[in-house]
Amino acid sequence: MAIGGLAPRHRLARIALAMPHTDQDVLSARLMALPQPLKSKRELLAAIALDGQVLDVAVVMQGVDEWLDEASKDNWQKQQQTWEIEPWLELLPFTNRPAAVAEGLRKVKAFYGPEHPQRFERVLTAVAAVPGAEGEALLADLARAHKDIADDFAWRKAILRRGPATAVLLYVDLFIEGVLGRGAQAVADAWHVGRELSAYVQKFPQLKAELKERYETVGDGPGRTMIGALLVNSAATTSLSR
């Protein structure tokens, strides 16, 4: 009998995977081979990912497809929330094909349709947790393909939380492209964002040269306004600190 949709043995397995252990690949394979429906193993897959193991994209995508097949039999009810499918989608960045997250989102968003738009901020948070250059590239691809899964503030927070100077430049470039920072308030938002980002120039002085180069080459628009505000505010902060 399952408890809260997860078999008791899988709950114990999740606890076991969180403890120091060896031969985790063998243990994980045995647990995944148990004769249980795949949907009951989602938390087990999450535990395996948290343990640092790479998930099989075919297994996770199967979980997405099975949910979509089941959801198609109860469209109205399933289209009211995302709490069942989002945990599957947020596993995709931790598979052997992280870019599959964009494919998974396309499938799921097609199910919801324009009449039932949803936010998938947990998916954004998961992608933002992928380390290194691969994580930044995945974030950029996701923003260009699925910017609508979160608002601009959530995107800014997710990208800048990564920490390095390259993340700041990623956000600036997406803003310049118009992927982020669109809408009727784009110019006003550009000034606000520029002031907010000025603190990063103090933290990463090497950004100033990169930003000046972008300012000189980008055309008029919110992107140029944002970089101008960033440079002005960072210069003012530097003068006051002397």
Confidence at residue 240, expressed as pLDDT on a 0 to 100 scale = 35
Confidence at residue 189, expressed as pLDDT on a 0 to 100 scale = 81
pLDDT in tens, the chain (242 residues): 233 344 454 454 554 455 455 556 665 666 666 668 888 889 889 988 988 889 999 999 999 999 999 999 988 888 888 999 999 999 999 999 999 999 999 999 999 999 999 999 999 999 999 999 999 999 999 999 999 999 989 999 999 999 899 999 999 999 999 999 876 555 568 888 999 999 999 899 999 999 999 999 999 988 999 999 999 988 755 543 44
Confidence at residue 171, expressed as pLDDT on a 0 to 100 scale = 95
Residue spans of the domains in the chain: they are 1-53, 56-150, 152-242
Confidence at residue 16, expressed as pLDDT on a 0 to 100 scale = 47
Confidence at residue 92, expressed as pLDDT on a 0 to 100 scale = 98
Confidence at residue 7, expressed as pLDDT on a 0 to 100 scale = 47
Confidence at residue 31, expressed as pLDDT on a 0 to 100 scale = 63
Confidence at residue 6, expressed as pLDDT on a 0 to 100 scale = 43
Confidence at residue 11, expressed as pLDDT on a 0 to 100 scale = 52
CB-CB contact of 158 with 150 (8 Å)? yes
Confidence at residue 24, expressed as pLDDT on a 0 to 100 scale = 63
Q: What is the pTM of this model?
A: 0.82
CB-CB contact of 149 with 131 (8 Å)? no
Structural tokens at position 94:
């931790």
CB-CB contact of 120 with 149 (8 Å)? yes
**Based on the number of CB atoms within 10 Å of its own CB, is 241 exposed (0-12), middle (13-18) or buried (19 or more)?**
exposed
